[in-house]
Amino acid sequence: MFLKKPFYFLFLSLIVCSFWLSSCDTIDLYEKVVSIPSHKWNADYKPRFSFIIKDTSSPYELFLIIRHNEKYAYNNIWINFYTQIPGDSVNKILFEARLADNKGWLGSAMDDIYDHRITLTPSEQRYYFKKPGEYTFTLEHTMREEPLLNIMNVGLRIEKLTL
C-alpha cells in the first residue's frame, strides 16, 4: 500500500504536467521596465527596448509605463520616442504623457508610488508593424529639470490585439 501512493501521486503529477504543457502557447506580449538610477533621470540616460515582430497582419497596442513617487513635481512628462524599424532610419516622435489632473494622480497607487500605463495608440486606431524583424524603441525625457527627479522606472509594453 505504501508503494502505491507515491506511484499514484507521480502518475497524477505527470498527467497534470502534460495538460499544462500542452496548453502552453506563445504569449503575444512584450513588456520591459528599467530602473532609473537613484530615481534621477538624466537626459543622457536613454533606455532602449528591442523586440522581434513576426506577425505584421495583426494590430498591436503600445503602452508607455512610468512609475514615480508622490514627490514628482509635474502633472505630465514629455518624452521623445525614437523608433528604429528594421532596415530603416530612426524616427522621433514627441509625446506628452498626462500623469495627473485636478483631482490628483491618474495612475494606480500603492502607498506613495504611482504606476501609469499610458496608451500610445488611440483606441480608434490600430497600430500595425510594417515589416517583420527587430524593432528598437528608445525613450528620452525632454523636461526642463535636469536631472528629472522622482521617476523610478520607465518601460514599454506591446500587446497583440485579437480581432
Q: Per-residue pLDDT tens for 39-70? A: 999 999 999 999 999 988 889 999 999 999 99
Q: Which of 49-63, 80-94, 139-153 has the highest mean pLDDT?
A: 139-153
Answer yes or no: is pLDDT of 153 > 70.
Answer: yes
Among 75, 79, 71, residue whose Cα is nearest residue 40? 71
d(CA 115, CA 97): 13
pLDDT for 87: 87
Verdict on whether the full-model pTM lies above 0.85: no
What domains lie within the chain, and their CATH numbers?
A: 28-160 (2.60.120.380)
- pLDDT tops 80 at residue 8: no
